[in-house]
Amino acid sequence: MPPLPAMSPEFDALAADLRSASGGRPVVWLPNPGNWGAALTRAATREFLVAHDIAFREVGRIGRADLLRALLARDVLVHGGGGAWSDRFPGAWLAVRRAAPWFRRTIVLPSAYGRPVRLDRCSLWARDRGASLAFAPAARFCHDLGFFPGRTDAPGGEGTGWFLRDDVLSRASGPGGPRAPDLSSRGDQLSPLEPFLAEIARFAEIHTDRVHVAIAACRIGRRVHVHAVDGPMLSDLFEASIAPFFPGAVLHR
């Protein structure tokens, strides 16, 4: 299904930046590695690129030969959005800092920034209007690409599902205190997306502190309770992209 019309202006602006940078040539797309939630971003990003007629070559990693090829071909690097731009989780920052000097231009898809980011010949896109813009003031806002496919049809669910992080960022706990299952930790960015969505769709109401579980639950049309994590990452995204477009969603600080 198409994206929510109210979200389209930001997605259209991002697409225009990609088309301008690429000059009609295929871009080198490096999806952000991560947990099962990253598979949602990867699938939605592919859909976004195809929908906007942006040719791409997907790579799983960038080695030395790829860097030399990029330098000679004057390629454009498109790095998948998400997190991992903080001192706690620096993977995306380190990967882009290493690769960007070899590319004619780099575009970082909507991400959450938790550390100062300064890169030459680089377009930064932030998935929130809060802390990310403080760390990367040159970034422009666009919704997380996980929202791009819009509403996702699913049978009605029953009961309440709890899906909470099992790492240093988590502050919430399930009913009665026991740890709820961390659905996102059961896969990675290459895992099939359908079982991830199906598990969320089983329930009518979702409690989560995972960004992409929350996004999936919104797209499926479930009542969503978002529990803040340590730091502003999730609450900032809620204010930018969930509260204005998904009535009934609740943020628990």
| Domain residue extents for the chain | 5-147, 160-252
Q: 5-147: what fold?
A: Rossmann fold (3.40.50)
CA distance 228 to 225: 10
Element (H, E) at 39: helix 36-51
pTM of structure? 0.93
* Length reported for the chain: 253
Taking only the tens place, the pLDDT of each residue in 48-94 is 999 999 999 999 999 999 999 999 999 999 999 888 788 888 888 89
Residue 57 main-chain phi, psi, to 5 deg: -125, 115
Taking only the tens place, the pLDDT of each residue in 21-47 is 999 999 999 999 999 999 999 999 999
3-state secondary structure of 214: helix
Q: What is the 3-state secondary structure (H, E, C) of 124-147?
A: EEECCCCHHHHHCCCCEECCCHHH
To 5 degrees, how large is the angle CA 141–CA 87–CA 184?
70
Q: Where are the beta strands (DSSP E) in 82-166?
A: 105-111, 122-126, 140-141, 160-163
Q: Please determine, for residue 231, whether its predicted confidence score (pLDDT) is greater than 90.
A: no
* Token pair belonging to 36: 């099962």
Q: Token pair 């295929």 is at which residue? A: 26
What are the angstrom distances between the C-alpha of 116 and each of 14, 132, 159, 231, 239?
A: 22, 9, 42, 15, 22
Element (H, E) at 229: none
